[in-house]
Amino acid sequence: MRIGELAERAGVSTRTLRYYESRGLLPGRRAVNGYRVYGEDDLRLVEQIRTLQDFGFGLEETRPFVECLRAGYPAGDSCPASLEVYRGKLVELDALIGRLRTVRAQVEAQLLRAATEAPEAAEPQCNLGGRP
């Protein structure tokens, strides 16, 4: 298939595919007429990259998964290097969750403080444009 068909089937732009090629994630095979040509395996590579990016993985983090598929494994996460990337991402996510819990607790404390200090039935005062 040509680049336009791969882009359509994978749900990405041709520019994205060229970028993946420039980064060495997608093979750059050309037909005798000079057009880029791709196969079903290339579609699997792009789908793997997109899925991981949807999960928050950076483009370079997808490389071990792509290399695993290229090596002939049935899934991109069948290789030890891919498992290491998963482990690293879990550590990163756990740290982010911890930070979010801290921020949530701070916001909740601010809300409780503000709610207890706020006058109950005070009418808001607004002087926009000199009107009472």
Q: Residue range 98-104: average pLDDT? A: 97
Interval 31-80: pLDDT, tens: 888 888 999 999 999 999 999 999 999 999 999 999 999 999 989 898 99
Judged on CB neighbours under 10 Å (0-12, 13-18, 19+), 9 is middle
pTM for the model stands at 0.74
Quote the CA–CA distance of 90 and 97 in Å, as a whole number. 10
Contact predicate 91/61, CB 8 Å? no
